[in-house]
Structure 1
């Protein structure tokens, strides 16, 4: 546990403008600790990192005292709802996989089960606006991989991220599971998006919230690529469920590949913009996966067993002729009526039954899509 002076030195080093991670690590290598850095004469700073960085170090960041007090109070709050932790670079509990990356953060803020940082993990990422099938896939892959004993890591975003976290939490409730880590692009005390407040509370209780951003940090655009590098760095592999060609998920996948981690992608319809990012990754060498077992096999993961993928309701057996006619791409009511010869009124009633059974999704524009269990 850091004492107050150590905390103040770490925060000063991290928050000083114009002192990036590489320069900070250079200082730590030369002086041994943040306290030793600031105890050294400025001439030694200049000799180590240059005159410009030395001038920056000479002036403490604005509101440093306030940030130290807020962080100290947060860390030592009476009876927090979940354990709170600060992990500095070099601490015994600092995640080993992050040390293999080019720019590990100097400090991590964590709420919840910090032991999950030592667990083998797989990242699941994708679109904030997925198709119903993508949402179902993310949740079921999250459940299956967690049931097999792997921690599921994602970014707490809407869409695929949230579904993956929920699937992993479902597995934890049922079997213990491998847990889930939500890596945030804000301070851990500021939940974003607001719609995920309840999910974040559940993750803090049953999994782990994690961020390198200082307390109170807002959801600024430049925070999220940095969050993505942590998602990739903490994971043995990254699974992209659905993603457009211009997508933060592809950044995460690229970062994973650059550090020698596995990249997996689920293929989709050639007509769907949200499949194009996955198809691009597959062309670049990502592993095409259709089931969670494909991921486990590629990782040579043995412990645990994959959870059942779920039973299709008897109302909609896999050989249901209407489902066969619907296929796997979105289809309009008129087109489906043309394929089946069923009158539109009867067809609408039947589709409503299938929708209530959870095997068909209604999309905008009076289109329908079959949902397939992962």
Structure 2
């Protein structure tokens, strides 16, 4: 990298949400100058960065003009204007992850084709161009329909239980996937720098909120066999190398009841399934992402102790100025670390923060996390 740190490297982040905010908290230690673009004038990053700009992430001119004075750009959300990033790359701005990687991952159909072409295990799938295409599918019910573009945080996914569900199915281009009879959703975060060094964080196990389809509870390290964990890590490393990505890649997978690992989807950025690394691992996912994009040696990813991460979601039935109930009570529990995202307005199931609970003993960490879940509430 041509620029030193010490304040003269200008790093742009597309997206000013909580992932950007936590990335800035680490980037401050490298003394880089941080510029953020986000459509929300009250985005969580606003007060932490050197320069904050309100604007659309999907508009070519806005993204291009934001980026042209910077040395490097990274993302905290995939839904960005890739054509603008491609032009910036052509003009010498470093874009990590690369625009071609973002373009591929923006489209779940292209993701699936990439898995198939590179022998990466994934659930059987078919493309559907419009709602009528579902009538031609001769699979047995139920199966899953996913929008090819713009689905995130559980949105853009539907379960098709019977032909009656065709009426309410997505009409935009989508993929359908065979239902996976999985035992557990697992995740691996892998980092790769421009030297080609690759490193994975230990595998995590996830539980989802059934109403919001968001990760609600996550534990690391996993207690599955070393063979399963090694296989998951090898799959993640293979994907990072096949993509030649620079940066962080979250690989979400299913572990089936027969012990098979199938890749569900990818996110080319810090991810919800890595928040426990801030307190639970030697290097956090955010520090690792910066190391990767700055082409520095990758950090040690070992677990320090058992870590449970729970998402703090807005309570159902409340919308308005956020009020946090129970923060003092949970901070009285040993090993509890609170991260509030600075979002003024709460809505049902909106991600308002996360809490990490660490302990030398796995069962104690889990019990304390369940306590935190029952005490901490975000209301209005």
- The structure with the largest helix share of the pair is 1
Q: Please, what TM-score do these two structures have when normalized by structure 1?
A: 0.25
- The structure with the largest strand share of the pair is 2
Which protein has the larger Cα radius of gyration, Structure 1 or Structure 2?
Answer: 1
Q: Please, what TM-score do these two structures have when normalized by structure 2?
A: 0.25
